[in-house]
């Protein structure tokens, strides 16, 4: 009996172990499912307990709007007010060149002189012919007064005298044309004819340029042409370091088809012809008065489209962007246009925020 009892105990133990081994895999997934269900619940509770992320912190400065004279800066160059090629009015051989090229001359001064040739003799002949016709006309009048000459003959002799007088004037003009003179006061910039050269009528003796007044010419972009008026003051700083002042005398009404710019001419005094033609210049042209803001140079940023502008904080606490145009650079900052009224300009953190983003303001 005892042996049967021992076998019974052993059988019960074996059955319990076998049952545990069979049921253990079935109990594992349920426990894991309970753990998985509990974990999201714990995570959600932790998320609700954590505070929301704070908006970025920026520093701003309140920039007021100031009424300030506008000035447009363009690239230009000096140019002679007048440039004329002086040509011969008659044919002949150059006999004298009394003026060196590059010399200042007065109006009417001889630049080239042609050989007189037979022009003096032609003038003397014309004068002798005039004297003969004068005597013939006087004789006709005396005879007509005594009834020995008809009135028709007298009129014929007067016409002959007038014709001889015209011949004298023509010979005088031909003789005067051997002197090729400066049409105005200026610089005889280039001589084309040398002694011994033959000039036909219309061939050049040289070039005259007028440097006082002097022109400064440039090109206005189509966005700025409406801001400039004839008579506006202008200042040009030349590449040589010289500074000249003048006024706008001409603005083109038709744009250059290639550059879409408008030619502008500024006239300036140039006493003593000290400023030469053809010098490059930075020209500042007065463009009236308008609103401007003085902003620090680091405040300028570029938006996604590559436009230069500034970021500021609006009344709703969000960042906004406005393109601006630099009017003038000063040691205190940049004067810009494009903003309106007082602006809370982002001066620290402007590179790390974007348009429409809500921010916290550290200091105003």
Is the pLDDT confidence value at 9 over 80?
no
The pLDDT mean for the chain works out to: 85
**Residue span of the structural domain in which 114 resides:** 84-204
Predicted confidence band at 281 (pLDDT cuts at 50, 70, 90)?
A: very high
pLDDT in tens, 304-347: 888 999 999 998 999 999 999 888 888 899 999 889 999 999 99
Structurally, how many domains does the chain consist of?
Answer: 4
- Chosen domain end from 244, 264, 288: 288
Helix, strand, coil in percent for the chain, rounding step 5: 30, 40, 30
Q: What is the CATH number of the domain that holds 272?
A: 2.40.30.170
Q: Which residue has the tokens 């002197």?
A: 179
Alpha helices in the chain, H assignment, sequence order: 2-49, 119-145, 151-176
Q: Tell me the backbone φ, ψ of residue 24, rounded to 5 degrees.
A: -60, -45
- Chosen domain end from 204, 233, 250: 204
Q: Is 246 exposed, middle or buried (0-12, 13-18, 19+ CB in 10 A)?
A: buried
Predicted confidence band at 44 (pLDDT cuts at 50, 70, 90)?
A: very low
Q: How far is CA 38 from CA 7, 44, 62, in A?
A: 46, 10, 53
Q: How far is CA 260 from CA 25, 203, 223, in A?
A: 85, 38, 10
Same structural domain for residues 135 and 26?
A: no
Same structural domain for residues 94 and 181?
A: yes
Q: Do the beta carbons of residue 287 and residue 269 sit within 8 Å? A: no
Put residue 288 in one of left, alpha, beta given phi > 0 → left and psi -120 to 50 → alpha.
Answer: left
Among 132-146, 178-192, 242-256, which is the least confidently predicted range?
A: 132-146
Instruction: Enter the pTM of the model.
Output: 0.61
Closest by Cα among 119, 117, 122, 114 to 198: 114
Q: Do the beta carbons of residue 260 and residue 103 sit within 8 Å? A: no
Find residue 94's DSSP bridge partners.
Answer: 114
Same structural domain for residues 249 and 345?
A: no
Q: Which residue has the tokens 């061939």?
A: 203
Half-sphere exposure of 311 (CA within 13 A, CB side): 25
Same structural domain for residues 197 and 132?
A: yes
Measure the CA–CA gap between 122 and 134, rounded to whole angstroms. 18
Tell me, what's the pLDDT at 146?
84
Q: Is 93 exposed, middle or buried (0-12, 13-18, 19+ CB in 10 A)?
A: middle
Same structural domain for residues 312 and 347?
A: yes
Token duo for residue 318 = 């969000």
Same structural domain for residues 95 and 142?
A: yes
Q: Which residue has the higher pLDDT, 36 or 200?
A: 200
Closest by Cα among 302, 364, 308 to 336: 308
- Chosen domain end from 288, 314, 349: 288
């Amino acid at each position: 009996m005892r042996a049967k009892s021992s076998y019974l105990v052993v059988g019960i133990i074996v059955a319990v172990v076998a049952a545990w081994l069979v049921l253990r895999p079935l109990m594992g997934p349920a426990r894991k499912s309970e753990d998985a269900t509990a974990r999201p619940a714990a995570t959600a509770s932790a998320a609700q307990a954590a505070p929301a992320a704070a908006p970025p912190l920026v520093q701003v400065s309140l920039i007021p709007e100031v009424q300030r004279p506008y000035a447009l800066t363009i690239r230009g160059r000096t140019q002679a007010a007048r440039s004329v090629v002086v040509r011969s009015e008659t044919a002949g051989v150059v006999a004298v060149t009394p003026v060196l090229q590059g010399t200042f001359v007065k109006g009417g001064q001889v630049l080239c002189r042609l050989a007189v040739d037979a022009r003096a003799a032609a003038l003397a002949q014309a004068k002798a012919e005039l004297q003969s016709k004068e005597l013939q006309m006087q004789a006709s009048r005396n005879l007509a007064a005594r009834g020995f000459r008809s009135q028709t003959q007298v009129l014929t002799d007067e016409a002959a005298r007038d014709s001889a007088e015209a011949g004298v004037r023509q010979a005088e003009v031909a003789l005067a044309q051997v002197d090729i003179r400066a049409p105005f006061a200026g610089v005889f910039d280039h001589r084309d004819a040398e002694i011994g050269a033959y000039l036909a009528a219309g061939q050049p003796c040289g070039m005259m340029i007028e440097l006082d007044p002097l022109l400064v010419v440039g090109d206005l972009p189509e966005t700025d042409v409406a801001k400039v008026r004839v008579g506006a003051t202008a200042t040009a700083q030349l590449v040589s370091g010289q500074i000249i002042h003048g006024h706008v005398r001409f603005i083109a009404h038709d744009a250059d088809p290639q550059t879409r710019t408008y030619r502008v001419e500024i006239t300036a005094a140039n006493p003593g012809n000290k400023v030469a033609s053809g010098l490059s210049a930075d020209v500042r042209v007065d463009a009236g008065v308008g609103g401007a803001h003085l902003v620090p140079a680091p405040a300028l940023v570029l938006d996604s489209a590559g436009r230069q502008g500034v970021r500021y904080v609006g009344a709703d606490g969000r960042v906004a962007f406005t393109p601006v145009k630099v009017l003038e650079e000063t040691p205190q900052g940049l004067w810009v246009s494009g903003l309106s009224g007082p602006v809370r300009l982002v001066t620290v953190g402007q590179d790390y925020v974007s348009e429409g983003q809500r921010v916290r303001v550290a200091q105003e």
